[in-house]
Amino acid sequence: MFRFTYRLVIVVGFFLSTISASDATAKENLLVGKRMFNAYCSLCHGEDGMGKGPLSKKLKLKNGIANLTSDKYQSMSVQELLRLIQGYNRENTRMPKWETVIPERNLREVAAYVLALTQTDLRMRGDVRRGREIFRQSCVACHGPRGEGNGVLAAILQTKMVNYTTKKLIISDEAIIGIISEGKGEMMPPWLGTLSSEEIKDAAAYVRSLYNKD
Ligand code: HEC
Ligand code: HEC
């Protein structure tokens, strides 16, 4: 157990140094929490927090793994959840005592992200930054550099484009993902196959972030 912990410290230290430039806004902190959750918790708890991560099958647990999306945890405060994650009053469990390997500040971000697991907001499910890169590579030709619908190809094709930045977002997250995956109308291409479903989620999250929200 000691050896396991020791190795984890090194890995976590390295990981943190790669994301330490994180911005101070609450949303950015959730994104840090998300990256940490995916790197350290999803192995057992699953990316969706429901307890079916790939390692969970190896652990042969009698009582299974806590479902972090259940009311029991979702009704807790960040502070209460933080305590559980840190590992207070806990013996004989396969749940690591994270207190010893991840700084409290970061565990707080993980706890906040756990409470955001049940949110359906796309910006939480996709990675906006990666989405922006994908958009720059594959979408600007028609949608324009800032999603205003003024791309050169749109002009050549004489296609009527949407301007994401002025439009009020009336379509759902699922609809955005659906349109990017399967295409729409005469000119919006289907991207599933060219892009992975992860990349489509990221691109969708970026598109969502462009829409004017008032
Ligand atoms: C090696 C597998 C494993 C990893 C990795 C893991 N957990 Fe757990 N976790 C468990 C198990 C198993 C339980 C069920 C509780 C028990 O058996 O005592 C649990 C329980 C929990 C609980 C509920 C505790 C309670 O008292 O009700 C929370 C909250 C939790 N984990 C959060 C996390 C977070 C956040 C991370 C990442 C920083 C994480 N876990 C990583 C295995 C893991
Ligand atoms: C060849 C030009 C073209 C390219 C390239 C293109 N689109 Fe489109 N896109 C369109 C057109 C045209 C529409 C409007 C379709 C309609 O409503 O009939 C559209 C519509 C959309 C919509 C729906 C907007 C709404 O509010 O209804 C989304 C979302 C979208 N595109 C995302 C993307 C993404 C992400 C990419 C890159 C991966 C991309 N598009 C690349 C032409 C393009």
List, for residues 184-211, the tens digit of each pLDDT value: 988 999 999 999 988 999 999 888 877 7
Q: Are 123 and 27 in contact (CB under 8 A)?
A: yes
Angle CA(38)–CA(89)–CA(56) in degrees, nearest 5?
A: 35
HEC assignment per residue over 107-132: HHHHHHHHHHCCCCCHHHHCCHHHHH
The CATH number of the structural domain formed by 2-119 is 1.10.760.10
CA of 189 to the centre of ligand 1 (A): 42
pLDDT of residue 23 exceeding 70, the answer is no
Q: Comparing 2-119 with 124-210, is the CATH topology the same?
A: yes
Which uninterrupted H or E stretch holds 145?
Answer: none
Q: Is 117 in the pocket of ligand 1 (CB under 6 A)?
A: no
Residue nearest to atom 40 of ligand 1 (CA): 41
Long-range contact list for 49-52, CB < 8 A, 24+ apart?
Answer: 49/114, 49/117
What's the rounded Cα separation, in Å, for the pair 149 and 141?
9
Identity of the amino acid at 2: F
Confidence band of 162 (pLDDT split at 50, 70, 90): confident
What is the number of residues in the chain?
Answer: 214
Cα gap 153→196, rounded to integer Å? 24
63 has pLDDT over 80 = no
Is 150 in a helix, a strand, or coil?
coil
Mean pLDDT, range 33-51, rounded to an integer: 91
DSSP 188: B
Spatial separation of the C-alpha atoms in residues 158 and 59, rounded to whole Å: 58
Average pLDDT over residues 164-182: 81
For residue 22, pLDDT beyond 50:
no
What pLDDT sits at residue 28? 54
Ligand minimally distant from the alpha carbon of residue 195: 2
What is the distance of C-alpha 18 from the center of its chain? 17
Ligand 1 proximity of 110 Cβ (cutoff 6 Å):
yes
Query: Chain-wide mean pLDDT for the chain?
Result: 81
Q: Report pLDDT for 61.
A: 81
How would residue 24 be classed by pLDDT, with cut points 50, 70 and 90?
A: very low
- Residue linked to tokens 């099958």: 57
The CA-based diameter of the chain, rounded to the nearest angstrom, is 67
Residue 50: nearest ligand to its CA? 1
Identify the band that residue 168 occupies on the pLDDT scale cut at 50, 70 and 90.
Answer: low
Question: What is the pLDDT at residue 146?
Answer: 86
User: In this model, does residue 15 exceed pLDDT 70?
Assistant: no
Nearest one of 203, 139, 211 to 177, comparing CA atoms: 203
Residue with tokens 């999306």: 69
Q: How far is the CA of 143 from the centre of ligand 2 (A)?
A: 7
Q: 124-210 belongs to which CATH class? A: mainly alpha
Q: Give the angle 198-201-207 at the CA atoms, nearest 5°.
A: 145
pLDDT at residue 167 tops 80: no
- Residue 206's pLDDT is 86
For the chain, what are the domain ranges?
2-119, 124-210
How high is the pLDDT of residue 2? Answer: 47
pLDDT at 19: 43
Q: Which two tokens stand for residue 112?
A: 């906040």
Give me ligand 2 centre to Cα 98, in Å.
44
